[in-house]
Amino acid sequence: MYCEVTQFAYVITKLKEFFNDKLTGKFSKPLFRIIGKSEMFFSKHGTIITANNLDVAKAKSPTPKEYERIDEIFKK
């Protein structure tokens, strides 16, 4: 993927809105761990994205660059 980790964390958090009540609530944190353990997601700089990277990114920037654009995509 070619986006900032803060943007990726924001997208993952937005995705929880598309799942039923059994997966909502604290959905983003377990998903962050699943993504980190998969070792299949890389930052735009080529480093593996870890659960900690996602947690820190979300805490650091709850509304990342271009969040309005991301929100528009989810509205479609």
State the pLDDT at residue 62: 85
Give whole-number Cα distances, 24 to 42, 43, 44, in Å: 25, 26, 28
Angle at CA of residue 1, ends 47 and 14, nearest 5°:
110
Q: Of 2, 12, 1, which is closest to residue 57 (Cα–Cα)?
A: 12
Residue 42's domain comprises: 5-75
This prediction's pTM: 0.77
How many folded domains does the chain comprise? Answer: 1
DSSP state of 47: P
Residue 19 CB partners (closer than 8 Å, separation 6+): 27
Q: What is the pLDDT along the chain (76 residues), one digit of tens a residue?
A: 678 999 999 998 888 776 655 554 555 567 888 889 999 999 888 999 999 999 999 998 889 999 999 999 988 7
